[in-house]
Amino acid sequence: KAGQNDTMPVVDSEDIAQSVVRHLQQSLGVELDEAGPAEYWEALSLVVREIDLQRIRATRKKEREGKARRIYYLSLEFLVGRLLGNNLHNLGIFKETEKAMAKLGTPLVDILENESDPSLGNGGLGRLAACFMDSMTTLDMPAMGYGINYRFGLFRQSFAGGKQVETPDGWREDSFPWGIERAKRKQHVKLYGLVREHAGKAVWEDTQEVLGMPWDVPVTGYGTGTVNTLRLWESRAAHGFDLNSFDAGRYQDSRSQEISAENISQVLYPNDNHPAGKELRLIQQYFFVACSLADLIERYKRENSESLKNIADKVAIQLNDTHPAIAVAEFMRVLMDEENVVFSRALEVTREVFAYTNHTLLPEALEEWPQQLITKVLPRHMQIIHMINYHFLHSEVEAVWPGDDHMKRRLSIIEEPDRPGDDQMVRMAFLSVVGSHKVNGVAALHSRLVQEKLFPEFHHMWPEKIINVTNGVTPRRWLDYCNPELAALIDETIEGDWRKDLYKLGAMKAYADDPAFQKRFAAIKHDNKKHLAAVIKELCDVDVSPDAIFDVQIKRLHEYKRQQMNLLHIMALYRRLLDNPDLDVPPRVFIFGAKAAPGYKVAKTIIHAINRVAERVNNDRRIKDKLKVVFLPNYRVSLAEKIIPAADVSEQISTAGFEASGTGNMKFALNGALTVGTLDGANVEIAEEVGDDNIFIFGLTVEQVSELRHRGYNPRDIYNRSEELRSVIDWLDSGDLCPEEPEAFRPLVEALLDQGDYFLTMADYQAYSDAHERIAETWKKPELWWKMAITNSASMGKFSSDRSIQDYGKAIWNMS
């Protein structure tokens, strides 16, 4: 296979089979004839882990000797996906392992299905962190990810009567051979307490202590010997029983302290693009930040000098959104209180080290914490935030807008309350901007809006600070691993290894018109659709035909992503078919996958409504299988890997100006799906790359959205004017789809009609419906369809996360 080189382990199927048997017997205590796919999965994982660990040691040794700056990626979420298959691919031993397992009598594909999907993230932001780890390693960068080893990741989703039901996902309960406890590197973290002055020095005392235990997960790269580390912290009680209080009265107390310490890493907050202002969340953030900074500072001291004054030469820290923003104050605290660096120098060093990535423009998603809460949990950090703010306002803002108190109030890290007596809020985004040397958005349009709309004053003060780094996805997982047939066809067709340089796919454009190539490309898609149809049958018990258009919307459920617009259109299609069952339209399957935050009422209502419409449509024989609707439960990385290679149409239909980038959009196009999308996020750049003829763009632009909002917009006018919209919304509201709870869909109808339709679903509906007409017309011309699909795949070079990471290296981490 292309890309195999001398850094690959020299192992053949015989070696692998032997090692698997050895681990079965000696690590797991299982005889060969007792082993099923689950035992094989564990044994094989241990084989790969052995290779990983050996390479981790070699990588660390090389890095200790090297002069390079280390990159630390701080993120509350890493959605890494299943690791065994991906590691086999990256290590270049997938094919040999297939042979080995065939010899042992259990197909590798069945073995891989036994891995539970580590659910350590919500959605795009967490998955991006995982793609970046893959790319940094593939590019041989000295990099480490820091996060939390949640006991319960994102909840498992099922449906009851069409409604979402959440259950805890104890993803590592059975076994997780990839994580290795590193007790030698444990850390102690302080919380609460108060600050006293001793001889002019601030001392943080009377604190409670928590222990942080690191779990290391190896990160393999493709075509390289480098293996990096993802270090995930688990909280533990710092002391066992406090023996002095081991009497009748205080026994309970000492126990309950222990439980609360361990609570910190128990569960991932299931909110996406909407912060939960909970004390435990703040403690989670600080806990993992404090552990990570202490750990990287220890490493710096081991490898360099005792003094931290040149630490910026060797350390770069990237903040994945504001979730780890308290790191700015913690780093300052260590420099000032533990290393005796003066404030002004400490701030300089901090700024050289830190950079911050913004992932959202949604006003309600910008994190703020009550000053009182920070003061209670982290009293010293609140003081330091005040010091940073004072310096920022009175020397830096003052220099640009002398005497302008209004501007100082606007830019203050600590927000003035709207009403006197209300709590003052700490703006974590402002703290991140002030504490960093670079701030980046995640797609060109988004970054422009960060400069112009979110942080215009910062952009004026520091015109070089806010930049763009467009997101990307790893072509290893999102093409090679999830779509091996297409990967093989590409290998046969073009020169060089696109896995390491995705721009090489451009050579495939020459074949977009070629009937023989089109035929093979289409056959692979058809095959992938057959596989997905089997998954749909198993999970939803619905029969779908691989000859239909597979139209897919998979992403978190959020009003701004507008699954409700997709639903309204499906309802309209159904009614059109009922009016005229002989309508000449291609058969279509609409496929959804989405989790809603458990507390997000309208999002849950949308899921319920889609499921109810699906049930009605799928059981109506009058429409002759021209329309099917399925909602796959428990959408997650491992399901995405099965859905994306089988998609014909990719729904990227957010209200312009709200989706920062999107990354699913890139994965779909890479696998030859055509996008129906708004000019939002990275869709804009995808359209640039594929050309306007190869994408279905529709709807209001960012400028038109704000213009319409300004003019004043009444969704009722559209409702009154459109017979089609009226009929489907009235149907939703009639109780017909949910007779046992006739008001069930009211919250959705109210959002659309009575509460101003904030996300402009009604305003964009007709353009969306027209775009789907164009899709149906294009499907009727297969040579045109497949030319477009091939062109899409061939044009995705820019959207490799390798390119993103190279951009970070040049523009932010000074890697030259």
Q: Where are the alpha helices (DSSP H) in 645-759?
A: 664-670, 683-690, 702-711, 715-721, 723-733, 746-753
Set 359, 427, 446, 562: catalytic member: 359
> Taking the complex as a whole, how short is the minimal distance between the CB of residue 657 and ligand 26Q, in angstroms?
11
- Environment class of 185 (CB within 10 Å of its CB; exposed 0-12, middle 13-18, buried 19+): middle
Measure Cα distances from 239 to 151, 208, 392, 742 in Å: 20, 10, 40, 55
Task: Compute and round to an integer the Cα radius of gyration of the chain.
Answer: 27
Min separation Cβ 362 and ligand 26Q, Å: 8
The catalytic residue among 69, 299, 459, 555 is 555
332: nearest Cα among 299, 284, 381, 397? 381
Q: Which is nearer to ligand 26Q, 364 or 584 (CB)?
A: 364
The Cα 802–Cα 368 span in angstroms is 33
Residues engaged in binding ligand 26Q (CB under 6 A): 122-125, 128, 269, 271-273, 275-276, 281, 323, 359-360, 365, 367, 442, 471, 659-663, 681
Residue 43 or 679: the one with the smaller Cβ distance to ligand 26Q is: 679
Q: Is 359 a catalytic residue?
A: yes
Distance between alpha carbon 69 and the CA centroid of its chain, in Å?
Answer: 26
The dihedrals phi and psi of 116, each to the nearest 5 degrees, come to: -80, 150
Which residue lies nearer to ligand 26Q by CB, 123 or 142? 123
Closest CB 358 distance from ligand 26Q, rounded Å: 9
Q: From residue 420, give the alpha-carbon distance in Å to each of 7, 305, 416.
A: 65, 49, 9
Closest among 386, 287, 297, 302 to 349, alpha carbons compared: 297
User: How near is the Cβ of 360 to ligand 26Q at its closest, in Å?
Assistant: 6
CB of 600 to ligand 26Q, least distance (A): 12
> Among 508, 496, 596, 538, which Cα is nearest to 793's?
508
- CA dist., res. 41 & res. 27, Å (int): 13
Beta strands in 273-371 (DSSP E): 315-320, 354-357, 368-370
Q: Quote the least distance from Cβ 378 to ligand 26Q, whole Å.
A: 16
Q: Looking at 663, 675, 678, 791, which residue is catalytic? A: 663
3-state helix, strand, coil in the chain (%, to 5): 50, 15, 35
Least distance in angstroms from the C-beta of 662 to ligand 26Q: 5
Give me the catalytic one of 556, 558, 604, 612. 556
State which residue, 281 or 333, has the beta carbon closest to ligand 26Q: 281
Dihedral of CA 440/444/446/449: which sign?
A: positive
Q: Which of 437, 562, 588, 667 is catalytic?
A: 667
Report yes or no: 122 and 323 within 8 Å, Cβ to Cβ. Answer: no
Q: Does residue 555 have an active-site annotation?
A: yes
Work out how close the CB of 593 gets to ligand 26Q at its nearest, in angstroms, rounded to a whole number. Answer: 16
Give the residue with the Cβ less far from ligand 26Q, 668 or 785.
668
Q: Name the residue with the smallest CB distance to ligand 26Q.
A: 124
Closest to ligand 26Q by CB, 560 or 713: 560
Phi then psi dihedrals of residue 592, to 5 deg: -120, 150
Which CA distances in Å does 11 have to 18, 43, 219, 649? 11, 16, 20, 41
The yes-or-no answer on residue 556 being catalytic is yes
The two tokens of residue 754 are 């009575």
Pick 328 or 365: Cβ nearer ligand 26Q: 365
- Residues forming beta bridges with residue 74, ordered by sequence position: 146, 319
Return all residues near 580 (Cβ < 8 A) that are at least 6 apart.
none
Q: Which is nearer to ligand 26Q, 359 or 628 (CB)?
A: 359
Instruction: Provide the greatest CA pair distance for the chain.
Output: 88
Specify whether 561 is catalytic: yes
Q: Which is nearer to ligand 26Q, 223 or 472 (CB)?
A: 472
Could you tell me which residues come within 8 angstroms of residue 577 by beta carbon, excluding any fewer than 6 positions away?
583, 585, 622, 623, 626, 627
Closer Cβ to ligand 26Q, 230 or 524, answer by number:
230
What amino acid is encoded at 57 in this protein?
A: R
**And the tokens for 519?**
């035929």
The verdict on whether 386 is a catalytic residue reads no
Instruction: Please state the closest distance from residue 562 (CB atom) to ligand 26Q, in A.
Output: 13
> Which residues have a Cβ under 8 Å from the Cβ of 418 and sit 6 or more positions away?
none
Active-site hit among 561, 588, 604, 628 = 561
- List alpha helices for 541-636, DSSP H: 563-579, 601-618
**CB of residue 266 to ligand 26Q, shortest distance in Å:** 15
The verdict on whether 156 is a catalytic residue reads no
Active site residues: 359, 555-556, 561, 663, 667
